[in-house]
Every structure is written in C-alpha cells, then in structure tokens.
Amino acid sequence: MNNKFKVSLYIRVSTDKQAKEGDSLEEQEAELKKFCEYRGFQIHNIYIERGKSAGTTNRPEYQKMLKDIENSEINAIVIKKLDRLSRSILDFEQLLLKLNEKKVEFIAIKENFDTTTAIGKALVRLVMVFAQLEREQTSERVTDIMAYRASQGLFNGGIPNYGYTNANKELIPYPKEKQIVELIFDQFLTTKSTTQTAKILNGTGSRYRTGKPWGKFQVQRILQNPIYKGMTFWKEKLYQGIHQPIISEKRFEEVQRIFKERNHIRSNSKTNALLQRLLFCGYCESIMTPTYGINKQKVKYYYYQCTNTKTKKKCKRKYIPFQEIETKIIELLLSLSSQAHFTKIENSVLKHNQSQDQQIQKNQTEITSLETKIQTTKSKKDRYLDSLILGNFKASEREKINTRIEEMELEEKQTKALLYKQQFKLNQHQQEKINLTALKQTLVEFKADHETLSHEQTREYLIKNIEKIICFLDKLAIKLKAVPWLIEFDTK
C-alpha cells in the first residue's frame, strides 16, 4: 500500500458513558489518524456519528460512507472496533458483500482485523457471531430479571400509572392524583357512566396529566386497570404487587361487574323506566331491560324483559310489567322505615359492625407485628452494612455479605407490602362499618318526601341508594348500597 491508498474513517459514540470510559469521538479520531499516518494511508473522509446506536444502519454518516463505497472513491474503511460499525450480523454481512463487490477493504485496529486476507474475513464473521450471542444472552437475562421482579410484585420502571409516582424504584400513591382515582371509582359506582364521571371530574376543575380535560376513555382505562387494587402486570400476566392499593378489591370488582352488565344493556330512553339498570332476574342473574310491545289497539305497553329470553334461552321470569314491579318496589322501600322492618335491619347492622370491630382489632395487632419485623430487619441490615464498611473481608466474603443485604432489602420491601395491605384492610373495615343513624334517616326521608318527588327525582334516589333488585316469581330481594346483604320480601 502507498500514499495513494485512500481510506475513510468511521467514528461513532452512542452514549455519554462511552465517552467517560475512554471511547470518546476525539479519542477514536486521534487513534485512527495515528494508525493511518503509520501505515501511510491517505484519509479521504472522516465520518463522525454522534449519539447513534449501531443496532440499525439508519445513521446519516454511515449512509454517507456507503456512498463512498458505492462510488468506489476509497480503498478501505478504517474503524477502531467492530462494534463502532455494526451490532447486527445481518447488517454486517450486507456491508461485507458491498465491500467485496466494490473491492473495498475493511480494517478494525483494536481487533487487528484486515479483510485483505481470507482468514481476516473469517475471523471478522466469527467475532460478530459471538458479539451477537452475548447481546442476546444479555437481553434474555434482562427479560428474566424483569419477569422475576414482576413475580415479586416490584415495579419494572416506565411512567407510573395515574395515581402513583416512582420513588426509589417503588410505586407509591401520589396524594393529589390518588384522590382523583378514588373520586373516579366513587362517581362511576353511583352513575354507572364513564361519560357522566368525566363530566363530574371536569366540572370540579380536574385535568389529566397532559392538562387536557378528562374523556370517557381515560376514565374507563383507570376503572379497568388492576394496578389500583394492588396488582402488577408483566408480559400479559398479573402478579400481586407490593405497592399500596388505592381501591379495595371489592370496589374494583363491583366496577368490573357494572362493565360486564353494560354489555347486555340496550337502553331505550322512550320507556322512561324507573328501574333501568337496577332490575335483575333471580333465576339466571341476567339484567332485565326495559322494552315495549304494541297491542291490537295499537297502544304501547311497557315491561322489563330478561335478557336471556332475547337470545332464545329459557328462563322462568321472562318479563314483568312496568307498573306492577315499580309500584311494588316503592311500597317495599317505604315499608323499610317501619318499626318492624327497621328493627331487623338494626340488629343485622349491629352484628355487622361488631364483626368489623373484631377484624379491625386483628388488623391493628398484625400491623404492630409487621412494623416490629420491619424495624428488626432494618437493624440487621444496618449491622451488615457497618461490618462491610469497617471489616477487612475477602472479595468472596464481601460478595456474600452484599447478597445477604440484598435479600434483607427484598424481605423489607415484601414486609412493607404486607403492612400496606393490613393498613388498607384496616381502613376498609373502618369504612365498611355502617352508619345506622344515616341509614335510618335516608329511609325515613324517602317515606316523608316520596309523594312530592318527580319521576326523575325518584329514579335519582333509587340509583343513589340501591345497588340491585332481584326479581323471582315468589319473592323480591333489594340490595341497598348502605348494607352488604340482600333484604328479601315474600311476594306470594
């Protein structure tokens, strides 16, 4: 080779880390120029790629270099290391084909590869095979680690879901957004409408993270995301998370049930149904939807129909007239405030509250135990850290100590997760205690005011206070939102 042997230098760095580790653009350029001076090469072009990955050939300077090759303007490409040029066997093979076609050589000074020889070409391909194998194994290890972290309930990074923030690689509730998430679930359980829930949020002046008003699809995504009941999601699998849930599992499942029921609902605003979305068949558990027929006199008559009968399935309770069931439900609601009925409700409420108090006591005991365990684990970890700092250990001994510290950190996180759950259960049991005075006041006020309420006001009362009404042939059952059991009435 002589002074007329023209070469192009290709220099690339993808991260600041590489620059700090002695592989900067300036360092590469100086070393390549020194090599060319020693070999007597004439430098035709220097292509410098800043902040570009070698995982793709879609790089501006790389493409310019390919034009030099295509136009046969150079005799060789000179790089510092193979990975500066490419990290893909397929891409590198295509480049080699192009180099062979145009009779352009390839030199990597660190690996001492020179494609002017057959052994040089073979060695280059061999090194690329092992380089790709290492990357794939690294990728597999990262995937395995991420899967393990998810199985342990840990956060795998990324932008935290609305309602949470990331602190020390852990999800923790973000107070301001947490309140909005709770409001979303509260309002949806009341209105059973994502559109109405979004309107209520926007009416309070609340805005999504982007600063834009809430939409029904954003609301629905939050309502159906299991992260809010304490779960994590990785590769289409759900795991129990260690983060603090914002919504109880019971409330979350109630919301999912509403979405499931809505798939069967075909609303008909012309019917003006008082019990729409509230009435269920007692035999097949399907919702009973309002509809109408037309008699011989061309007059419409309205009734609730079991949705199972619409799909040609058999059911004992096929339909029931509007007036018959709506009148009966109003009568039963009025009877709940009578002394005889309310005494039974009162006794059940007292038993329920007593059971909740017992659970609260258990939760408080468990919380105290977990707090002690966390403190004990933390003290042990601190002692290990102190010994690591002050002791004179061999490398293998230090590795064992570090492993034990990591195990204790994971144990501490898992114990904290159990503590969060116990605190959440404590709060849940406290919330599930029934306010007997408020319940009685609600029933008495309806009895006093029902005759003056409009049809729409009556429906608002029913939606606010009733979760569902179950209709059998010989009995009715009403599930009030204030109590966690059915109140049954014999209708024979």
How far is residue 152 CA from its own chain's centroid? 16
Poorest-confidence range of 102-106, 144-148, 272-276, 404-408?
144-148
3-state secondary structure of 433: coil
Q: Would you list the DSSP string of 38-104?
A: HHTPEEEEEEEEES--TT-S--HHHHHHHHHHHTT--SEEEES-HHHH-S-HHHHHHHHHHHHHHT-
For the stretch 198-256, pLDDT in tens is 988 888 888 888 888 898 888 999 999 888 988 887 776 778 888 889 999 888 998 98
Q: What would the two tokens of residue 156 be?
A: 């795998």
Asked about 24 being catalytic, the answer comes back as: no
Residue with tokens 């609301």: 219
Cα 35 to Cα 50, 112, 156, distances in angstroms: 22, 12, 45
Query: pLDDT tens for residues 164-205?
Result: 888 777 788 888 899 999 999 998 988 888 888 998 888 888
- Is residue 425 a contact partner of residue 377, using CB atoms and an 8 Å limit? no
Task: Write out the two tokens for 262.
Answer: 């809505």
Query: What is the CATH T-level fold of the domain 6-146, as seen in this structure?
Result: Rossmann fold (3.40.50)
Give 96: exposed, middle or buried? Use CB within 10 Å, 0-12, 13-18, 19+.
middle
Dump pLDDT digits (tens) for 101-121: 888 888 888 767 766 566 666
For the record, the structure tokens of 250 come out as 């019971």
> Which is catalytic among the residues 8, 14, 286, 337?
14
Residue 267 is predicted with a pLDDT of: 42
Dist CA 23 CA 25 (whole Å): 7
Cα–Cα distance for residue pair 453/387, rounded to 1 Å: 75
Backbone angles phi, psi at 273, to 5 degrees: -70, 130
The percentage of residues in the chain with a pLDDT greater than 70, rounded to a whole number, is 83
**What is the SS3 assignment for 280-322?**
EECCCCCEEEEEEEECCCCCEEEEEEEHHHHCCCCCCCCEEEH
pLDDT given for residue 357 in this prediction: 94
The span from the CA of 277 to the CA of 143, in Å, is: 45
Q: Which two tokens stand for residue 181?
A: 């998430």
pLDDT at 20 over 60: no
Question: Residue ranges of the alpha helices (H) in 391-472?
Answer: 395-432, 436-449, 455-465
Instruction: Give the per-residue pLDDT at 269.
Output: 42
Q: How confident is the model at residue 358 (pLDDT cuts 50, 70, 90)?
A: very high
CATH architecture of 164-262: Alpha-Beta Complex (3.90)
What local confidence, expressed as pLDDT, does residue 265 receive?
45
> CA-CA distance, 28 to 430, in Å (whole number)?
67
Per-position b or e across 288-309, b if 16+ CB within 10 A of its CB? bbbeeeeeeeeeeebbbbbbbb
What stretch of H or E contains 187? helix 175-191
Alpha carbon separation from 245 to 135, 419, 427, 428 (Å, rounded): 37, 12, 12, 11
DSSP character at residue 371: H
pLDDT tens sequence across 8-18: 899 887 754 44
